[in-house]
Amino acid sequence: MRAVNFKELSNFLTFWEEKMKFKWRLAIGVTMLSLFAACGKNDTFSNSHLGFNPPATYQDPRGISPDSNPDRTYIVGMNPLREDSSQFEKARVLAAMSEDAVVIENLNEHILTVAFHPGAKVQESLNKMISSPDVAFIEPNYKVFPIGTPNDAEISKQWAHTVVKSNEAWNLSVGGDDIVVAVIDTGSDVNHPDLKNNIWINKNEIPNNGRDDDGNGFIDDVNGWDFANNDNNPADDVDHGTHVAGTIGAVCDNAIGICGQAKKIKLMPLKFLTKENGDVAHAIKAIEYAIKMRVKIMSNSWGGSQSSQALAQVITKAEQSGIMFIAASGNESRNADQQPSYPAGYKNSNIISVAATDANDRLANFSNYGFTSVDIGAPGVSIYSTTPNNHYQYMSGTSMATPLVSGVVALMYGVKPTATVCEVRKALLSSVDVVSTLQGKVSSNGRINALKAVEAMKTVKCDENPTPTPDPTGKARQTALNGQTEFATGNINDNITLDYDVSEFANQGAIGAYIEVSKPNQEFNNPNGDTPDTVNRLSYAMVRTLKGSINFVPARSLPSWGTYAFRIIPLNSQNNAAGKFSDSSHLKLAP
């Protein structure tokens, strides 16, 4: 019997579902892969009837109403229907919005921001927009804030260098001029005498000629960009970003001021925070810029309590570009395993979530912690660093601990410039000084040690592409849901990561895979077979990679509480099965 052609099957099902007036909804993951959910006319998946209790309205996953979003701006994620579809998508969304809203700007090829006019029927328009098959998600443009507060000096200046053994580490590495750290913050004083020689310069841009010389979409972006005010002057009017920049890479051996954690690097100031706050849309633009300009590290001393799917997507894009994303865990003195702060709370492998410690290696009384959500401790109490107008100041916070980690990671790249995200993460977290006060509080159980981290970088190895052992029965490996084959949650707004790997079938001609999701509380009728289950299947995805991830939010992608089965089968270039379906993994949603 010839293997089932999944492409023909997909076209056949789509034809009949359109004939029956079935509706489709695309549940988009942070990797921008498509997961189509098919629902009957009387069981339409829309955000006004999700089936969860209490029912959602349009909705932000965390239940924010239009009235609690006073600036009336929203982030809209589009479904990547085809490579050249962005203009069509935009046109359809505009039509759905009618005259109630306008597109402010495109944040990237699939994410845009919209604003509603005064007097607009926001709820009605949101419901119209989210019902469009071209819209993957809508969320408020959440506010985020710099993390960290000033503190008086109680100990000697730059005590952290002694604790983390910076001097010894500098004998092995000082970084490198080609190592660029994006300081995504309130801006930086690029003329500070202790910073200016380490400020990044865009060598492909001619200063002050009013032209976009390098064709990156930004005019005269010589030293970074101010996304809050949309200009080329990322000056700091808060102190926070300049302080962060100094901790990472203040100029050393210049007979003034301080010495940054990495002596020889370049600092790229990307301003998106103001005196009051910032928002997710501007953060996304800053991250996109840093990706485009090929930085090595992003330092992020900011955050908020709301999880944004749009922000998660762009961080995954940075991960896929091999960029480390160092993030402050937050200053709420809480267990981040239970109440995460974002972006530190996302599960990407490139994110290093940082807690703050004091001079006695104790967890700072303000610092967040969490054994599964916070990675490492670093000095963050009474940290002395640069502030605008040639000044210096002590500050405390996970905001101050984060740039120290960013600086150490820069030293690590100085030893191995081609290091992968996996190698940096492994070397950093395996080389900590284990301290009793952090055991069970951070995943590494310790505080950063610059010397050990640099030494570990010399020999670290990650078998990121191991040769899998094929299953003799031809079964694909199970998918993993947040790293587990059996995952349960009561939070329908969790970001769920589905990891898949069918690379062992490459020799059988596999070039991609078909992922199938069951209806709630149903198992597939033909386990480990080679044909889809069209009876108990809720949704499916066809992907063109042998290994990867799909991220989704249950409230956006699944119709009700219950247990869902996930399975995968490899496909060849003709969309025929190149193996057998895997055993099922399960996602249990229960209140």
To 5 degrees, how large is the angle CA 116–CA 120–CA 123? Answer: 85
Q: Is 54 exposed, middle or buried (0-12, 13-18, 19+ CB in 10 A)?
A: exposed
The pair of structure tokens assigned to 454 is: 């640099």
The pair of structure tokens assigned to 37 is: 């959910």
Q: Is 215 left (phi over 0), alpha (psi -120 to 50) or beta?
A: left
Which residues, 6 or more positions from 162, have their beta carbon under 8 angstroms from its beta carbon? none
Contact 431, 449 (CB under 8 A): yes
Q: Is 243 a catalytic residue?
A: no
Cα dihedral sign for 462, 512, 519, 1? negative
For 120, 164, 249, the CA distances from 188, given in Å and listed in that order, are: 39, 25, 12
Q: Out of 161, 192, 240, 243, which one is annotated catalytic?
A: 240
Q: Is 399 a catalytic residue?
A: yes
Around Cβ 208, how many Cβ atoms within 10 Å? 10
Contact 247, 263 (CB under 8 A): no
Q: Out of 132, 399, 503, 584, which one is annotated catalytic?
A: 399
Q: Is 185 a catalytic residue?
A: yes
Q: Which of 342, 346, 396 is nearest to 153 (CA)?
A: 396
Q: Is 527 exposed, middle or buried (0-12, 13-18, 19+ CB in 10 A)?
A: middle
DSSP secondary structure letter of residue 46: -
DSSP-assigned beta bridge partners for residue 396? 149
Contact 524, 536 (CB under 8 A): yes
Q: Out of 60, 100, 134, 185, which one is annotated catalytic?
A: 185
β-strands 143-146, 135-140 pairing: unpaired
Cα dihedral sign for 455, 458, 459, 460? positive
User: In angstroms, how far is the first alpha carbon of the chain from the final one?
Assistant: 45
* DSSP structure string for 549-583: EEEE-HHHH-SSSEEEEEEEEEEETTSBBSSBPPP
Q: Which of 307, 310, 309, 240 is nearest to 271 (CA)?
A: 240
Which residues, 6 or more positions from 130, have their beta carbon under 8 angstroms from its beta carbon? 46, 47, 58, 137, 138
Distance CA 318, CA 97 (A): 31
So which residues are the catalytic ones? 185, 240, 399
